[in-house]
């Protein structure tokens, strides 16, 4: 498997130049919060996974805003009301650097909660299928 930096570089390839600048601090928050995760690319997401489950997914939406998606979203305690969506999957739209800094503790807590849930639900023997290094991200 490629290292974290390799996957990030492959994901950013062909995207707007400032995409890396918007994605990098959110990506770093996830990696700092749960260093046990692996990073891979699945379709248009950078996925942070552990034991066969997705802890968080990071991607740029059509407006080039950074989104953090949690498959475990409906099970997360979100007192700051950052999570949006009505299905089990919930998303945080990181609209600016100021939004990220203001909400850093809450986002960190949501990432930790998601990691705890994934750790409970997957025994570590599962696999998570990601794009090969020779497969470009959409």
Dump pLDDT digits (tens) for 65-76: 999 999 999 999
Reported as a pLDDT band with limits 50, 70 and 90, residue 125 is low
State how far the Cα of 62 lies from the Cα of 53, in Å rounded to an integer.
26
What's the predicted TM-score (pTM) here?
A: 0.87
Instruction: Indicate whether 3 pLDDT > 60.
Output: no
Reported as a pLDDT band with limits 50, 70 and 90, residue 99 is very high
Q: Compute the mean pLDDT over every residue in the chain, rounded to the nearest whole number.
A: 88
Collapsing DSSP to helix, strand or coil, 132 comes out as coil
Reported as a pLDDT band with limits 50, 70 and 90, residue 86 is confident
Q: What percent of the chain has pLDDT over 70?
A: 88
Give the model's pLDDT for residue 2: 41
Per-residue pLDDT averaged across 1-22, rounded?
81
Sketch the domain layout of the chain as residue ranges. 4-121
**CATH 1.10.357.10 holds for 4-121:** no
Collapsing DSSP to helix, strand or coil, 76 comes out as coil
Dihedral, 109, 40, 122, 29 alpha carbons, nearest 10:
-10
107 versus 125: which is more confidently predicted?
107
Instruction: Indicate whether 108 pLDDT > 90.
Output: yes
Give the model's pLDDT for residue 78: 96
104 versus 2: which is more confidently predicted?
104
State how far the Cα of 121 lies from the Cα of 101, in Å rounded to an integer.
30
């Amino acid at each position: 498997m490629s290292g974290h930096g390799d996957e990030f570089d492959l994901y950013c390839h062909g995207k707007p130049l400032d995409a890396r600048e918007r994605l990098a601090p959110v990506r770093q928050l996830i990696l700092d919060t749960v260093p046990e995760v692996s990073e891979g690319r699945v379709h248009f997401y950078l996925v942070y996974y552990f034991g066969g489950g997705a802890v968080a997914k990071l991607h740029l939406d059509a407006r080039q805003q950074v989104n953090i998606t949690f498959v475990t979203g409906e099970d997360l305690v979100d007192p700051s009301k950052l999570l949006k969506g009505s299905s089990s999957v919930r998303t945080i739209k990181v609209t600016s650097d100021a939004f990220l800094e203001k909400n850093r503790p809450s986002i960190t807590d949501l990432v930790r909660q998601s990691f705890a849930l994934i750790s409970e639900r997957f025994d570590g023997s599962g696999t998570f299928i990601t794009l090969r290094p020779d497969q470009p991200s959409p």
